[in-house]
Structure 1
Amino acid sequence: MKKLVLLLVVVCLFLSCNSKKEQETVQNPSDVLDNESTEDVLGQVMVYEGLLPCADCEGIETVLKIYQGDGTIESHTFELTTVYKGKQPEKKFIVEGSYNLERGLEKDQDGTIYVLNYDKPEANQIFYGYSSTNPDHLFLLNNKRQKIKSKLNYFLTLNE
């Protein structure tokens, strides 16, 4: 009986030594991110940039980053950065959240609409869309998911 208990203690010590060794080799999560590109971690990234009109400033410098993740709706995230140019001090805003895709932009059934903050109340949602014939131009849409009718530039350009 003593031999069995001794054997059990030795096995437990051996297993605990192995688990410590494994814990020592685990990398810090920030080291992992440094070693892998952001694109690998978050999936494909599309970056749209442009200068949108502003009523009381020189323009709104806008950068929209769309992260497609692993393709599931839960992994669709975005980062929208806006800087109000010509204001002292220049104001910078960053909005991060989830997005959803909708098919059809006005008369273009193959167009795509990004609904930013789709999981928030409609007042907090932001709509951008592109037509199937020109996916490099992402238009800011009104709350009815339509292009803003104006001679001013309300689109962002895909940065490749």
Structure 2
Amino acid sequence: MKKLVLVLVVAGMLCSCNSKKKEETIQAPSKINDVESTEKTLGKVTVYEGVLPCADCEGIETVLKIYQGDGTIESHTFELSTVYKGKHPEKKFVEKGKYNVERGLGNDPDGTIYILNYDKPESAQTFYGYSAKNPDKVFLLDNKREKIKSKLNYALTLNE
């Protein structure tokens, strides 16, 4: 029963988060020069990519960009892009906002949690986290800031 509730919560979170996102048509991948000019204005960028599970499609192609800004919390911004694969027409949804960082993920006191939209109501917040031992993999977390317990892959991989 708990697994069913968790699956419903995660599915609802994914669906509700996407309903408020800006919709775009899919375009060719960004050029390296675009990344360099973005870094100059928004600070260093960390990019995670992967395909998250989807209840009614082939997967949710996801790109999470974390911009460091000038190091102050006010300058921390993110961009979360998603494409529901297998849906016709495929559309890209882009969400932009501010994030905050918390230390500690599960039993790892040195882990890191990104709180996307920390400045908005909790229902609009999304959580991603990684362990100190493996910062190259960031996991979508549930609303309790815990890793989703599932055989499905809820991880995005660092794109270097």
TM-score (norm 2): 0.77
Aligned partners of 2:90 and 2:38: how far apart in 1?
28
Superposition misfits of 4+ residues, deviation over 2 angstroms = none
Report the equivalent of 1:115: 115
Please state how far the C-alpha of 1:40 moved relative to its aligned partner. Answer: 1.9
Q: Secondary structure at the match of 2:151?
A: coil
Aligned partners of 1:58 and 1:38: how far apart in 2?
31
Report the equivalent of 1:101: 101
One-letter amino acid of the counterpart of residue 132, structure 2:
S
* 1:78 pairs with 2:83: no
Aligned partners of 1:40 and 1:131: how far apart in 2?
28
Report the equivalent of 1:13: none
Report the equivalent of 2:152: 152
Report the equivalent of 1:38: 38
Identity %: 79
Length, aligned pairs only: 127
Q: Which has the higher helix share?
A: 1
Aligned partners of 1:76 and 1:54: how far apart in 2?
29
**Superimposed CA distance per residue, residues 106-127 of structure 1 (whole angstroms, 9 cap, x where no aligned partner):** 1100000000000000000000
Aligned partners of 2:89 and 2:80: how far apart in 1?
20
Please state how far the C-alpha of 1:69 moved relative to its aligned partner. Answer: 0.3
**Superimposed CA distance per residue, residues 130-152 of structure 1 (whole angstroms, 9 cap, x where no aligned partner):** 00000000000000000000111
Report the equivalent of 1:128: 128
Report the equivalent of 2:13: none
Aligned partners of 1:74 and 1:64: how far apart in 2?
19
Q: Secondary structure at the match of 2:118?
A: coil
Please state how far the C-alpha of 1:91 moved relative to its aligned partner. Answer: 2.9
Aligned partners of 2:58 and 2:99: how far apart in 1?
29
Aligned partners of 1:91 and 1:37: how far apart in 2?
25
Q: Secondary structure at the match of 2:41?
A: helix
Look at both structures and tell me which one has the larger radius of gyration over its CA atoms: 1
Q: CA RMSD in A?
A: 1.4
Report the equivalent of 2:63: 63
Unaligned runs of 5+ in 2: 1-33
One-letter amino acid of the counterpart of residue 141, structure 2:
L
One-letter amino acid of the counterpart of residue 114, structure 2:
Y
